[in-house]
Homo-oligomer: A and B are copies of this chain.
Amino acid sequence: MSFVAEQLERLRPTWEHMLRHPFLLETRDGTIPFETFANWLREDYLFVEAAVPFIALMIPKAPPSHWELHSQVIAMFHKELGLFRERAEAVGVDMTDLRPSFTNHAFIQFLIATASQRSYAEIYTVLYAAEKAYHDSWTVVKKGIDPASPWYPFVENWAGEAFAEYVAYLEKELDALAAAAGPAERERMAELFETTLRYEIAFWEMAANGDGWPEHERVALAAAKG
């Protein structure tokens, strides 16, 4: 079995748990509160921005034949950032003075730490797992969302044909990298696959339920109790 197939099989319950996340189901059904989605939009904007240096850090470790892919991915992220800004503008989401939530900050640190210290095949695993998770998650949303929804362009972006092909391309390459890796590296790749999935779920969790840095929750709680 290929590396990716093996991971998806091994992690199936957790992967399916992700795909049933209330944030996705409520976005699909049109019951998601505007402010909840707006919060996700702000957070994910910061996350995609942070993914640019993540990809850049892969370049020195990549074979030169992969550089064109990385340049294209960076260009794709810039296009996504434009989509976020366009949507925010169109529906009135305030994008000023953004600061990442705790979970978002943590996920970003995970990307940068991994891309700084790990092997190319290990970093590639995180890239694939994150993109595959997004493709599958938004595919769930696509099956049911009203095409007139203001959030539909996000669905089109990640559940669309072009993104599907990109994820399929990544999968083929990741399987090749895993096939060429020794057993210890492949084990580290498997662990990073799982960790990425967990961060993705934490991200939906944060999007659905909000998440602040600890002292903020406390201060907010105290104020509410006050």
Q: Which residues of A line the B interface, CB within 8 A?
A: 14, 17-18, 49, 52-53, 56-57, 59-61, 64, 67-68, 70-71, 74-75, 78, 102-103, 105-106, 108-110, 112-114, 116-117, 119, 180-185, 195, 198, 201-202, 205, 213-215, 218-219
Asked if B61 and A52 make an inter-chain contact with CB atoms under 8 angstroms apart, the answer reads: no
Asked if A61 and B180 make an inter-chain contact with CB atoms under 8 angstroms apart, the answer reads: no
Q: Is the contact region of chain A dominated by helix, strand, or loop, or is it mixed? A: helix
A201-B214, A213-B202, A215-B201 in contact; A112/B60 too (CB < 8 A)? yes
Asked if A214 and B198 make an inter-chain contact with CB atoms under 8 angstroms apart, the answer reads: yes
A60-B57, A185-B182 in contact; A215/B17 too (CB < 8 A)? yes
Number of copies of this protein chain within its complex: 4
CB of A69 to closest CB in B, whole Å? 13
Tell me which residues across on chain B come within 8 A of A116, comparing CB atoms.
60, 112-113, 116-117
- Given the complex of chains A and B, what is the CA–CA distance between A53 and B59 in angstroms? 6
Asked if B52 and A59 make an inter-chain contact with CB atoms under 8 angstroms apart, the answer reads: yes
A109-B113, A113-B112, A116-B112 in contact; A59/B60 too (CB < 8 A)? no
The listed residue with most B CB atoms (<10 A of its CB), out of A109, A181, A184, A201, is A109
Tell me which residues across on chain B come within 8 A of A195, comparing CB atoms.
105
Tell me which residues across on chain B come within 8 A of A64, comparing CB atoms.
49, 52
- Given the complex of chains A and B, what is the CA–CA distance between A111 and B209 in angstroms? 27
Tell me which residues across on chain B come within 8 A of A102, comparing CB atoms.
106, 198, 202
- Given the complex of chains A and B, what is the CA–CA distance between A165 and B49 in angstroms? 28
Asked if A117 and B112 make an inter-chain contact with CB atoms under 8 angstroms apart, the answer reads: yes
- Contacting residue for A184 out of B75, B108, B180, CB 8 A: B180
